[in-house]
Structure 1
Amino acid sequence: MQCHIVWDKTWFADKGRPCPNPVACTLYTQLHLPDGGWSVVLEFSDTPPALPSGENMAEKVYFLVESAPHELLQPGFTFDFMSGGHTVGRCTVIAPSHSG
């Protein structure tokens, strides 16, 4: 699955920082559920699609451990991108795009 991220521009502006523009890297965040927290991995390609400022597309999204609730990562599932206890973005899982 892929993941569309919309960063909280206000949060980054208040910190005097630009929104992330991840290219050819891996980012991690936490998904907090009533039964516990899970590490989520977002992998970005070296040629990301062009999106509006403050938005990114992760090529892959998955849980770090096998015992995580993998069934949640289906198209339409949304979760917060957390950093240091703050919500800094909103993530939406989408089906991979296929070029034909």
Structure 2
Amino acid sequence: MQCHIVWDKTWFAGKGRPCPNPVACTLYTQLHLPDGGWSVVPEFSDTPPALPSGESMAEKVYFLVESVPHELLQPGFAFNFMSGGHTVGRCTVIAPSHSG
């Protein structure tokens, strides 16, 4: 699956940093739900699509471990991107990735 991320510009501005513009990297965040919490991994390609400032598109999003509710990562599922105890972005799963 792919994942569209809208970063919280206010949070980053308060830290004196620009919103992330990840290229060819892997980020990690936590997904917290009433029945558990899991590590989620958005991966970015070296040629990210052009998006408005403060937005990113992860080419691939998946759970870090196998024993998780994989059915959650379906198009339309949204979750917060966390950094420590702060919500720094909103992620929405949008489409299956096209892999060969």
Q: Percent identity?
A: 94
How far is 1:78 from its partner? 0.1
1:39-80 Cα distance to aligned partner (Å, 9 max, x none)? 000000000000000000000000011111100000000000
Distance in 2, matches of 1:60 and 1:97, equals 6
How far is 1:29 from its partner? 0.2
Distance in 1, matches of 2:32 and 2:61, equals 16
3-state SS of 2:24 partner: coil
Structure 1 gaps, min length 5: none
**What is the TM-score with the length of structure 1 in the denominator?**
0.95
**What is the TM-score with the length of structure 2 in the denominator?**
0.95
Structure 2 gaps, min length 5: none
**4+ runs of 1 displaced by more than 2 Å?**
96-100
User: Which residue of structure 2 lines up, in the alignment, with residue 35 of structure 1?
Assistant: 35
3-state SS of 1:26 partner: coil
- The structure with the greater share of residues assigned to strand is 1
How far is 1:96 from its partner? 3.4
Q: How many residues align?
A: 100
Q: Does 1:82 align with 2:86?
A: no
